[in-house]
Structure 1
Amino acid sequence: MFFKLAVAMVAAAAALVPAKAETHTVTFDNRCGRGTPTLRGQNGEVLSTGAPYTINGPLISAIAYLQTGICGENGEKCIIVETTLKNGYSSTDLSLIPPHAFQITTGFSYYNGCDGAGHDCTSANCPDAFYQPNDTNVQVGCPADNVNLAITFCH
């Protein structure tokens, strides 16, 4: 009887301890003086047009770009930041795979984990961007939980 009561008490106590929730924030620093930072989710929905975006859970296959008036709905004709922020392993990169093209300097870095890890693209021949799908060496990974991402334009 005592054993059953002890097990029930431990189970009840465990139920009261909140699970550590997963959360990620994407922030923008637009130093261009023009354009609209745009963050789109994997289904193409606009998640942000410049305000910090926080999600409770993973952010899977999102893209970000600075809409300068020439970018297509999915960043065509512009450089894009591709990201998946997920506890245990996040991955972010810059893409210039056609139909994407360089239009402004763009960079990203992680914070609240893997601080400073990231890439900057300051010209059309940026060595840290995808130009074809197998350029996987340019991806920047981060194993930290609840990592955030800062995206900077015109730095």
Structure 2
Amino acid sequence: MFSLFKLAALVATVATLAAAETHTVVFDNRCGTGTPLLKANGVTLSTGGSYTSQGPLEAAIAYLDVGCGANGEGCTTVETTLVNPTLPGSGSSTDLTLIPPHEFSVTTGFGYFDGCDGQGADCSSESCTTAFHVPTDTGVQVACQTDNVNLVITFCD
């Protein structure tokens, strides 16, 4: 016999699963060469396929490996934290970096989707103004305050 307690537990479990935090990173490599990489804490999460985190994706980096170092050294790098906001201003943040030892390698851009659509940045040269060149270039960070936001990273667009 299915008890009222078991029914309540089932409903609570389904509600928790439906409300679970997820974020997907998608790559669009139009270069015809190189391997898109997504890493967090030194662990490779993706080598070009879509990656979905079950919870926050914090301090991740992405780049097109065209002879880059192990953490994108020598290449244009996307830095991202995708997290549901718990307080105003505490949500997702993504940027492009050319802070040495990173340097321009290929045109690189990103954009949020399924929330904050149309917000993102592109860098098509070593002098682009949409990327970090020094650590104080904080104005280039692109924030998103939407739950479960996703990110597309494009190379050679």
TM-score normalised by L of structure 2: 0.88
Deviations 1:115-152 (A, max 9, x none): 11000001110100001111110000000000000000
* Within-5 A mapping of 1:118-137: 118-137=120-139
The residue number in structure 2 matching 1:82 is 79
- Match 1:45 to one of 43, 58, 70: 43
Partner of 1:103: 105
Q: Which amino acid aligns with 2:118?
A: G
Counterparts of 1:6-155 in structure 2, within 5 Å, are: 13=8, 16-17=11-12, 18-19=15-16, 20-41=19-40, 43-69=41-67, 71-88=68-85, 89-155=91-157
Structure 2 unaligned spans of 5+: 86-90
- Three-state SS of the structure 2 residue aligned to 1:62 is strand
* Cα RMSD for the two superposed structures: 1.4
In 1, Cα distance between the equivalents of 2:62 and 2:100?
16
Q: How many residues align?
A: 144
Q: With structure 1 as the length reference, what TM-score do the two structures score?
A: 0.89
Larger Rg, first or second structure (1 or 2): 1
After TM superposition, what 4+ stretches of structure 1 lie above 6 angstroms from structure 2?
A: none
1:13 Cα deviation from its structure 2 partner: 3.5
Instruction: Decide whether aligned partners of structure 1 residues 14 and 137 sit closer, same or farther in structure 2, where only a CA change above 3 A counts.
Output: farther
> Which structure 1 segments of 5+ residues have no match?
1-8
Aligned partners of 1:113 and 1:48: how far apart in 2? 22
Deviation string 1:11-35 (CA, Å, 9 cap, x unpaired) is: x737723221000000000000000
